Amino acid sequence: MSKGLLIVVSAPSGCGKGTVLAEVMKEGGFFYSVSATTRSPRQGEKDGENYFFITRERFEELIGSGGMLEYAEYCGNYYGTPLEAVEKKLNEGMDVILEIEVQGAMKVKEKCPDAVLVFILPPALETLRHRLEKRGTESGQVIEKRVSEAYGEISKAYSYDYVIVNDALEDAVSDFLNVIKAEKMTAKRSGELIDKVLGRI
Ligand code: 5GP
């Protein structure tokens, strides 16, 4: 059985990335990797569903024991991808989605050169501030910090494999699904198929 695709998705906060991915998950066939973080839960967030909310001590223990595929510090908190579940699902042939920020994405690219990196862009930088204000889950000060981080994050989009604009939600979702479909058809991922047609296996 061939391994699943490791898909890394990044976007600045307020880009609607969560909404795009929630729609993608409804399609089925994807495993969404739940990250660990040291930040406090926002209203409505559930432990084990949105994140594993853990202490800094526990997080550092996991780093030390090699339990993280990648991790980063973002706005004063640790965020990281627990390795075990990701490896297991990939080995079962499932496509795994990591919703992570750019430093973590670059680490995954280094460690797993086969990963597909997708960046979701807002239609414009100003759209971000408006969406964050509308969400209303962060204070004004945090919004300012996140908007200024966004500029730097978007500057890293050049290093990704695909860029999708989230203007109309349905378009962003179908663009994402098309990217994954096309990626699976690349010649570098079709060796087994070609071998079969040639009767080599
Ligand atoms: P938030 O606090 O808004 O949930 O997330 C802040 C940022 O951390 C987002 O860009 C999110 O994608 C990123 N993030 C979430 N989980 C991980 C992770 O496991 N690793 C890394 N590197 N970033 C993550």
**What pLDDT shows up at residue 147?**
85
Distance in Å, CA 79 to ligand 1 centroid: 6
Tell me which residue has its CA closest to atom 21 in ligand 1. 100
CATH number at residue 145: 3.40.50.300
The length of the chain is 201
Strand-by-strand arrangement of the 77-82 sheet: 51-53, 35-37, 77-82, 68-74
Domain that holds residue 155: 6-33+94-197
Count of C-beta atoms within a 10 Å radius of residue 187 = 8
Q: Is residue 171 part of a domain?
A: yes
| d(CA 80, ligand 1 centre) in Å | 8
CA distance 188 to 190: 6
Q: What are the tens digits of pLDDT across the range 96-112? A: 999 999 999 999 999 99
* Assigned domain for 189 exists: yes
The 8-class DSSP code of residue 101 comes to -
pLDDT of residue 107: 98
Asked if residue 158 is part of any domain, the answer here is yes
67 in a structural domain = no
Q: From residue 184, give the alpha-carbon distance in Å to each of 20, 97, 116.
A: 20, 15, 10
Give the model's pLDDT for residue 1: 59
Q: Is 86 helix (H, G, I), strand (E, B) or coil?
A: helix
Q: Token pair of 178, please?
A: 């098309």
74, part of any domain: no
- From residue 123, alpha-carbon distances to 34, 92, 118, 169, 177 in Å are 27, 36, 16, 12, 19
Total number of domains in the chain: 1
Binding-site residues, ligand 1, Cβ < 6 A = 13, 35, 39, 70-72, 74, 79-81, 99-101, 103-104
CA 99 to centroid of ligand 1, rounded, Å: 7
Could you read off the pLDDT tens digit of each residue along the chain, which spans 201 residues? 579 999 999 999 888 999 999 999 999 999 999 999 999 999 999 999 999 999 999 999 999 999 999 999 998 999 999 999 999 999 999 999 999 999 999 999 999 999 999 999 999 888 888 888 888 887 888 888 888 889 999 999 999 999 999 999 999 999 999 999 999 999 999 999 999 999 999
- Residues facing residue 9 across a β-bridge: 99, 118
Rounded distance between C-alpha atoms, residue 100 and residue 70, angstroms: 9
| Amino acid 133: pLDDT | 87
In a domain, 112, yes or no: yes
Select from 99, 107, 121, 160 the residue to mutate for testing ligand 1; criterion: most ligand atoms less than 8 Å from CB. Answer: 99
Is 84 a domain residue?
A: no
Q: Given this model, what pLDDT does residue 138 score?
A: 79
Quick one: pLDDT at residue 141?
A: 86
Task: Give the torsion through C-alpha atoms of 140, 46, 9, 70, to 10 deg.
Answer: 100
Global pTM reads: 0.93
pLDDT, position 126: 87
Tell me whether residue 100 is in a domain: yes
